[in-house]
Chain A
């Protein structure tokens, strides 16, 4: 019995070893070649008689077309780099059409500012006179630029103070010799206008300029508040394109309010000169734009006045921090003066208390009475020297 059981046990063990070894070999083979299953199921090839029959019936198949080659090549190409939908459409549409809100630009990185390309600036100078959006580098997509252009044109058509937007990249600045009066052939310098140099993605660096007729009419604090409000409004969004749209909308609203506050800036009262006839492109930039009678531009007075928006920051805390960072020495001096004044006040209080305490511990001895004087009214001690009041 024992021998029989031993044989059965050895037989079962041998069978189990064989099955395990086979299973392990299969698994190892599958891991080494994962595409073996796909290759094991090829598409059915087109027989030659069928292809000849289809070509003979004048179907859509071109001549010498082998559908097997297409199927074979498709099986090898499809798993590789598949172009995105935007890339496919970008082969047929202008650049950046689908790169707007769906793919926002990366946030501006800190680094030194570089100048805007000179050819881009020259392009701004050579743009037509009715241009209000200057985006020579194509920072906005076509649809966004068109929306912005329509907004600014609508504003310029209704408002007395035009709004113009010069877009630069996040870490760009205007060229060294750039003169904003040469924008659009100098057309903007001849009308009441507000020109904003806007770094895309960094609304805090936006610079706001007003022509002289606006700067002379409105109070500086009002213009500073206008610029601050626009920057604050644009800073409430993180998307660069959304920021510039918010900035432009708020700028348009505030410019309308500016006209209400100062009626002389309204279109009828301000009598701005009509926009010049659109200059054909290209237009050589005028060296010295001739000022009109309505807006005299003299050499002593620049045609544009820049408004620094952070002189009136929106919140008290930001105003305090900005002023502290700008006037650290004055702040330290003021704090020192306050501390010194407090110490002096405490010293005075302590001195007064000490003097009172000392006065309580002291007595005063009057000089001796020299002697009897001539009595008055017969009084030996008092001669009726005193005062009398009626307080009723």
Chain B
């Protein structure tokens, strides 16, 4: 795997990046929040139109219905300068919560697609349970297939391609069942009533404040100040 911050290649499991001292604890300290509620779609960059948001919501809901254990979250935001899309994806998957009423979904089966329209960067990250069927090589292929759509700002087409690529690989690993035997997905009513703090503009503001107060560099010299 690679370090989300300095992209150094690490062969074995490490709690802290040996180069930049990156870890989840340092990241949550910098953000100032230990738990986030995750929606299917978070458009902090405000780059989606209303119908595009609805279409993406429908695509993500269909994906969740076909794979009841898995959920995919899409985060569109303009990140502060020191943070990268990989760090945000890592934070969402480890400190995010996807509230459901009927049954829970483990974050190990979660996928996060983070797009920064200004930095023109995108990251697709998966939990531990999906690493076996969605290794980094396949995720990289899926991301490369949406490069043109992202460049043109066609986010609906990009999300559709990502879902198709994910389904193609997950179908091989899954067992087909009748839909009637599976519980329906969580409703919006339940999600709105959940007592989770959303990763919204306020969280981003806290990220920016922390980044402005500290001189951050990817070299890892200031990693302890998180």
Residues in A lying within 8 Å of B, measured CB to CB: 359-367, 369, 372-392
Check B4–A377 contact: CB distance below 8 A: yes
> B176: which of A362, A384, A390 is its contact (CB, 8 Å)?
A362
Check A377–B22 contact: CB distance below 8 A: yes
Check B128–A373 contact: CB distance below 8 A: yes
Given A384-B86, A386-B136, A391 and B121 contact (CB-CB distance below 8 Å): yes
**B47 contacts the other chain (Cβ, under 8 Å)?**
no
Residues of A within 8 A of B4 (CB): 377, 384
| Complex CA–CA separation, A381 to B109 (angstroms) | 9
Interface residue tally of chain B, by bracket? 35 or more
Contact with A along B157-188 (1 / 0, CB 8 A): 00000000000001101111111001000000
Check B173–A367 contact: CB distance below 8 A: yes
| Complex CA–CA separation, A380 to B28 (angstroms) | 13
Check B67–A364 contact: CB distance below 8 A: yes
Q: Mostly helix, strand, loop or mixed at chain A's interface?
A: loop
Check B65–A363 contact: CB distance below 8 A: yes
**B85 contacts the other chain (Cβ, under 8 Å)?**
yes
Check B177–A361 contact: CB distance below 8 A: no
Check B177–A389 contact: CB distance below 8 A: no
Q: Mostly helix, strand, loop or mixed at chain B's interface?
A: mixed
Most chain B CB atoms below 10 A, which of A360, A367, A382, A389: A382
Residues of A within 8 A of B69 (CB): 365-366
> B175: which of A364, A376, A377, A384 is its contact (CB, 8 Å)?
A364
Given A361-B179, A392-B119, A378 and B67 contact (CB-CB distance below 8 Å): no
**B150 contacts the other chain (Cβ, under 8 Å)?**
yes
**15 A-B pairs whose Cβ atoms sit less than 8 Å apart in the complex:** A364-B67, A364-B176, A366-B133, A366-B173, A369-B128, A376-B13, A378-B24, A381-B110, A385-B135, A386-B86, A386-B89, A386-B126, A387-B123, A387-B136, A391-B121
Q: When A and B form their complex, which 8 residue pairs have the shortest distance between CB atoms, in order from nearest?
A: A392-B120, A364-B174, A386-B125, A381-B107, A382-B93, A387-B140, A378-B24, A387-B139
Check B182–A363 contact: CB distance below 8 A: yes
Check A366–B174 contact: CB distance below 8 A: yes
Most chain B CB atoms below 10 A, which of A375, A384, A389: A384
Check A377–B136 contact: CB distance below 8 A: no
Nearest neighbor of B10 in chain A, beta-carbon distance: A376
Check B128–A383 contact: CB distance below 8 A: yes
| Complex CA–CA separation, A380 to B16 (angstroms) | 13
CB distance from B23 to the nearest CB of A (A): 4
Check B126–A382 contact: CB distance below 8 A: yes
Residues of A within 8 A of B178 (CB): 361-363
Within 8 A of A (CB), among B112-140: 112, 119-131, 133, 135-136, 139-140
Check B14–A376 contact: CB distance below 8 A: yes
Check A369–B15 contact: CB distance below 8 A: no
Check B147–A391 contact: CB distance below 8 A: yes
Residues of A within 8 A of B119 (CB): 390, 392
Residues of B within 8 A of A362 (CB): 66, 176-179
Given A386-B139, A391-B150, A365 and B94 contact (CB-CB distance below 8 Å): no
Residues of A within 8 A of B67 (CB): 363-364, 366
Residues of B within 8 A of A376 (CB): 1, 10, 13-15
> A386: which of B15, B65, B124, B176 is its contact (CB, 8 Å)?
B124
| Complex CA–CA separation, A361 to B86 (angstroms) | 34
| Complex CA–CA separation, A363 to B103 (angstroms) | 16
Residues of A within 8 A of B25 (CB): 378
Check A389–B131 contact: CB distance below 8 A: no
CB distance from A316 to the nearest CB of B (A): 45
Contact with A along B19-55 (1 / 0, CB 8 A): 0001111000000000000000000000000000000
Check A363–B106 contact: CB distance below 8 A: no
Check A390–B120 contact: CB distance below 8 A: yes
Nearest neighbor of A362 in chain B, beta-carbon distance: B176
Check A378–B179 contact: CB distance below 8 A: no
**B57 contacts the other chain (Cβ, under 8 Å)?**
no
Residues of A within 8 A of B182 (CB): 363, 365
**B61 contacts the other chain (Cβ, under 8 Å)?**
no
Residues of A within 8 A of B174 (CB): 364-366
